[in-house]
Structure 1
Amino acid sequence: MDKIMLNGLMFYGYHGLFPEENKLGQRFTVDLVLKCDLSLAGRSDQMTDSIDYGQVYEVAKSVVEGEAKNLIEAVAEEIAQKMFRTFASLEAITIKVDKPGPPIPGYYQSAAVEIERERHYAE
């Protein structure tokens, strides 16, 4: 299946279990792999036959910068559901939500989740 990949989308959100996360917020990074048939767009060279990357960014932004959630798992799931509602040609999606430096003990770069969803799951 064809893929559109958007990497390192950065947003500022207020997701987390701890009050300081909800109050102060932090940066989140999102990677997306959208699976769809791009053959018509490849032949026509028309944006109307593909998925608009800018619109994809805005959908992800509306979730990550929207209502605070406890878990990044919930952030990823809402992004998936909203993408399927927005883009009729989207057949499957992989979403990685990365949370740099969450407030838990230890030394590491980030915590992240990655989910994969198919359209039939979303309906």
Structure 2
Amino acid sequence: MADCIRLREIVCYGYSGVYAEERRLGQRFVVDAELHIDLRPAGTSDRLEDSLDYGALVTAVRQIVEERQFSLLEALAEAIARRLRQDARVQQVRVVVAKPQPPIPGFTGSVAVEIWR
């Protein structure tokens, strides 16, 4: 399937992490998601109900990141993927969860996990 909806750079503030400080102070997370779905019905009808509501998808991702806690990025990504696959029309999802500037001494980049479901 070549059709997909891409949500890029969903910026959230959450309280996930292995260290107590991360869970107490919180930090920024950046999520990308790709939902594989047949877009032909929406393309021909021009009706939202034949597609997915982008705003609702972003809200769902933000709620998971901001309202739940996970130790691992892997678990956070899995929860996001499960939520995005709730619509039966979604055939596959790709989720990338990044943590900019994690609390790793001497490391100023970001860490990320990517999953396909």
Q: Which TM class, normalised by the smaller chain length? A: over 0.9
Shift, 1:31, TM fit: 0.4
Q: Are the aligned partners of 2:35 and 2:84 in contact in 1 as well (CA < 8 Å)?
A: no
Q: Give the TM-score taking structure 1 as reference length.
A: 0.91
CA distance in 2, matches of 1:108, 1:31: 20
In the alignment, structure 1 segments of 5+ residues that lack a partner are 118-123
The 5-angstrom pairing of residues 28-107 of structure 1 reads 28-85=29-86, 87-107=87-107
Count of aligned pairs between the two proteins: 116
- Measured on the aligned residues, the alpha-carbon RMSD in Å equals 0.9
Q: Give the TM-score taking structure 2 as reference length.
A: 0.95
1:121 aligns with none
Q: Structure 1, residues 48-95: CA drift from partner, whole Å, max 9, x if none? A: 00011011101101110122110010000001111112x221110000
Q: Percent identity?
A: 46
1:116 aligns with 116
